[in-house]
Structure 1
Amino acid sequence: MRLTNVISPYTGETVGKVKLATKEDAANAIESAYETFQHTMKTLPAYKRSSILHKAAQILESRTEEFAQVLALEAGKPLKDGRGEVGRAVQVLRFAADEAKKIGGELVPMDAAIGGENRIGMVKRYPIGVISAITPFNFPLNLALHKLAPAFAAGNTVVLKPAGKTPISSSMLVEVFKEAGLPNGALNLVVGSGSEIGDILVTHEKISKVTFTGSPAVGINLKKQAGLKRVTLELGSNSPNIIFNDADIEKAAQSLVRGAFAFAGQVCISAQRIYVQKDSYQKFLDLYLPLVEKLKTGDPSEETTEIGPMISLDEAKRAEEWVQEAVEQGAKIATGGKRTDALLEPTVVLDIKHDMKIVCQETFAPIVSVIPFETAEEVIRAANDSDFGLQAGVFTNNINQALKIADALETGGVWINETSNYRQDNYPYGGVKLSGVGKEGVKYAMEDMTETKFVGINLN
């Protein structure tokens, strides 16, 4: 049996050990999930699936502090953010429990076609089978449940591969579902490198769908491998946030502190590009920079910490190098930019060019660029000048302008008078371009985790 250490990104110490799966382990997990689907889950009544999910929510909620502590240890997530993630995860389970009882179909008006008199047409939804769920390190609990909860609500089974840096919370989650009464084999956990077990989790003939959250490079390769299997990809972004002169500038500044720096910027929809209309640019900076400088960085296990470490020393060094490269190309650091081990100060960069890495690529770090603009047309072009398109924020008190901008932005979602990094778990969430394909959000994920079948009756 091969074991791997789980390392704290803050202390560098080992916080746990987990078993590494082999290809054979992964294949066995898939076979087990398939058998459980065929003999149990596909016929499990909706009220039982709902009851399991409700009970899982209760158990998870009762263990909030335990999970938050683990998220601080393995992911470097500040305690208050960890508690927030657990709260959202509980909500995802409850949304799924409700949706489990709403899976319906439709009656088709057969007499709309010539010769369709005295015929009844029904469309029913059925679970699709075994789902391969591959999850990232940044929200190891909530993003796992965005795949697991709708899958179980619809009557499927899952093989879960968590990020290698954050497997402990997933292991604990398996125990939660077991205690809640989920049938044995409905959720199988495999921990291992993508090079070792990734291919089989995508290509195995008994996998019906792959749902992945991670980097565009891996996601694109995964989609090529998947063939005719269903695929949902939640990939990267460099989210634009646009502030017009008529907006509440103070509110925008306050919101975008967390919008840019929550979990050290390691959020797919983190505010990475802030565009401020020229007349309000200096006012925004005067409000924003002191708020950023007040953020407390440090030990994620301390109650007062607001910004913890990045997930690894290598990632922190990479982010620091991107900032330094931008400075060499003419950018100016307004605040931050210094690194201590895996801790990178919240960093605000000015005087940027659009081809700098910190602007055109996904930083996934506590780095934000503040950019002036003059006209709506100009800022739309700048915001859309990106390979990504996940979510955006627009701050304005002109509703006509807000809706015009929302229509023009090439993103999967737009928030008006809210930051790009705000997400609720009950709306369709997913991007365009390199940000991925498909939608999450419990109800919307379930649509792609079920298949429709037509049943017709001839009454003649």
Structure 2
Amino acid sequence: MTNLTQVMQYGLYVNGRWEKTPVNMDVLNKYTQESVVKISVATKEHVDVAVKSAKEALRTTFAPYERYEVLMKAAQLLLERKEEFAKILAIEVGKSIRESRGEVERAATTLQVSAEEAKRIHGEGVPVESAQGSENRMAFTLRVPVGVIAAITPFNVPLNLVCHKLGPAIAAGNSVVLKPAEVTPICALKLAELMEEAGLPKGRLQVVTGDGAEIGEWLLDNQDVNMFTFTGSPRVGELIRSKAGSRKVSLELGNNSATVVHKDADLEKATTLVSQKSFNNAGQVCISVQRIYVHKDIYEKFVTKLKEKTEKLVVGNPMDEKTDIGPMIRLSEAERVEQWVKEAVEQGAEIKLGGKREGAFYLPTILTNVNDDMKVCRQEVFGPVVAIAIYEEIEEVIRKVNDSNYGLQAGLFTNDLQFAMKAAREIEVGGLIVNDASAYRVDHMPYGGVKKSGNGKEGPKYAIEEMTEERIIVLNL
């Protein structure tokens, strides 16, 4: 499994055992389009056994300090095997080997932060004695695990985003049934091996692979699942919410991230950061820069500088140390992006750079003369395309940024404190990044959106609040 030089089969991880099934799916090397691994396809029976095992595991005490030790050990093992995991990421996702190493390091950090938070889960005192007739009472709250959590993760960051669900869930005392994306499941399966080695008790983690729609339905139908945490498309997120009933749901969905570059911005800094954070992972990042609004006074200079910096990006084999951008996850996705850009050009957009597809590769693309109703602006491109528009007034650009169904994160480059504070109050997003692009994220910060970008927060401390229930204890003295 480590070298991925021959096609191997990976089983399901259910009830503390690895089980291969007769039906398999291919996982492709996204650069060569050759099969590197066959994964087992779960049936409804496998999913039900996984949920049952996860529920039964909750009967065994798993103290906070034990959770801390397991998660810290897992983080250590992950760092020791950084190169192995990075190579797998480069192969199964198609992201550059340098970016893949960064993801492994971040995933280890996510587990470390989760481990620390396992020791900090607490309730609070409630002054019930201040109510008339309750003078002899005292009360406090506890935070208790929600129980069995179904975690459904996406293809684009298939190690760190698994850790963002698994780490806090385990830290909070829950058990997890994990469904990784079928196109990028290898890191999740390897992580399950690693968690087992780190001492995670049997049943606290199950990994079921196969068709996402089928497994999702089976998990939703199983009433022993207490919470769903999902990262993916708004369409699927809305389906999960509609079928989950009264159970907890945390959704991290799409975005068409805006970044504003005001007339007083540091152009060198702005163009450098925007070029870095628009095209990494071939633009397949939820908070990747997509819409750029530039003040008219600096528009021409910004476009010229951004083009110069973007032209230096190397597109090619993800395993090559020089590569910045690899292929998209599927040929069909590259074809979709190609069609959206073609449609924008037909509607009047101009291609300043890129606009070409080579198989599953789509070259970094800069569009100008766009309007907000083009697909490349209105919807989520999820590809290496940015659309640059002009604005004149602060009120105008805030309206433009907010004219979206999404609201995950936005960026703003300005040295005007008054503008920054106005934007902080009025731009409708889960996070505003000032003097950086929308795609800034560190793993212990609260991360989540509004509108069709979802609900709930990631970041271990904040995810643990989602993954626990508050219980009040009242003592009659």
Same-fold status (TM-score > 0.5):
yes
Of 314, 317, 342, which aligns to 1:299?
317
Of 291, 299, 305, which aligns to 1:287?
305
Structure 1 Cα separation of the partners of residues 304 and 197 of structure 2: 52
**Any residues of structure 2 matched to 1:57-76 within 5 Å, and which?**
57-76=75-94
Q: Are residues 1:325 and 2:343 paired? A: yes
- Cα deviation 1:356-394 (Å, max 9, x = unaligned): 000000000000011110000110111111110000000
Shift of 1:113: 1.1
Aligned to 1:206: 224
- Cα deviation 1:292-333 (Å, max 9, x = unaligned): 111000000111100000001000000001000100111000
Shift of 1:110: 2.1
Aligned to 2:38: 17
Equivalenced residue count is 456
Aligned to 1:448: 466
Match of 1:348, SS state, is strand
Structure 2 Cα separation of the partners of residues 293 and 75 of structure 1: 23
Q: Are residues 1:6 and 2:27 paired? A: yes
Of 148, 161, 170, which aligns to 2:188?
170
Match of 2:382, SS state, is coil
Kept after mapping to 2: 8 A contact 1:257/1:292: yes
Aligned to 1:188: 206
**Any residues of structure 2 matched to 1:86-165 within 5 Å, and which?**
86-165=104-183
Aligned to 2:252: 234
1:378 is matched by which residue type in structure 2?
A: E
Q: Are residues 1:379 and 2:397 paired? A: yes
Q: Are residues 1:27 and 2:60 paired? A: no
Structure 1 Cα separation of the partners of residues 274 and 213 of structure 2: 38
Kept after mapping to 2: 8 A contact 1:412/1:432: yes
Kept after mapping to 1: 8 A contact 2:124/2:140: yes
Kept after mapping to 2: 8 A contact 1:406/1:414: yes
Structure 1 Cα separation of the partners of residues 239 and 155 of structure 2: 20
Between the two proteins, what is the percent identity of the paired residues? 52
Structure 1 Cα separation of the partners of residues 335 and 128 of structure 2: 63
Structure 1 Cα separation of the partners of residues 183 and 127 of structure 2: 53
Q: Are residues 1:427 and 2:448 paired? A: no
Aligned to 2:262: 244
Aligned to 1:355: 373
Structure 1 Cα separation of the partners of residues 103 and 220 of structure 2: 28
- Cα deviation 1:89-113 (Å, max 9, x = unaligned): 0000010010000011111112221
Shift of 1:118: 2.5
Gaps spanning 5+ residues in structure 1: where?
Answer: none
Of 341, 356, 360, which aligns to 1:338?
356
Structure 2 Cα separation of the partners of residues 370 and 44 of structure 1: 52
Shift of 1:195: 3.0
Aligned to 2:387: 369
Of 66, 74, 78, which aligns to 2:96?
78
Of 405, 413, 420, which aligns to 1:395?
413
Gaps spanning 5+ residues in structure 2: where?
Answer: 1-21
Shift of 1:116: 2.2
Match of 1:279, SS state, is coil
Structure 2 Cα separation of the partners of residues 250 and 366 of structure 1: 21
Of 235, 239, 255, which aligns to 1:217?
235
Structure 1 Cα separation of the partners of residues 221 and 263 of structure 2: 52
Structure 2 Cα separation of the partners of residues 195 and 309 of structure 1: 25
Shift of 1:155: 0.4
Shift of 1:437: 1.2
Shift of 1:452: 1.3
Structure 2 Cα separation of the partners of residues 112 and 412 of structure 1: 37
Q: Are residues 1:259 and 2:280 paired? A: no
Shift of 1:79: 0.4
Kept after mapping to 2: 8 A contact 1:9/1:313: no
Larger helix share, 1 or 2: 1
1:8 is matched by which residue type in structure 2?
A: N
Q: Are residues 1:48 and 2:69 paired? A: no
Structure 2 Cα separation of the partners of residues 222 and 458 of structure 1: 42
Kept after mapping to 2: 8 A contact 1:295/1:306: yes
Match of 1:207, SS state, is coil
Structure 1 Cα separation of the partners of residues 237 and 146 of structure 2: 21
Shift of 1:203: 2.7
- Cα deviation 1:52-105 (Å, max 9, x = unaligned): 000000000101000000001110010011001001100000100100000111
- Cα deviation 1:18-63 (Å, max 9, x = unaligned): 11111111111111111111x22xx311110100000000000101
Q: Which moved more, 1:128-137 or 1:395-404?
A: 395-404
Structure 1 Cα separation of the partners of residues 392 and 66 of structure 2: 57
Structure 2 Cα separation of the partners of residues 364 and 122 of structure 1: 46
- Cα deviation 1:103-144 (Å, max 9, x = unaligned): 111111122211221321111111111000000000000001
Structure 2 Cα separation of the partners of residues 9 and 22 of structure 1: 26
2:31 is matched by which residue type in structure 1?
A: Y
Match of 1:275, SS state, is strand
1:151 is matched by which residue type in structure 2?
A: A
- Cα deviation 1:409-439 (Å, max 9, x = unaligned): 0111100001100111112111111101111
Match of 2:206, SS state, is strand
Kept after mapping to 2: 8 A contact 1:232/1:438: yes
Structure 1 Cα separation of the partners of residues 214 and 294 of structure 2: 46
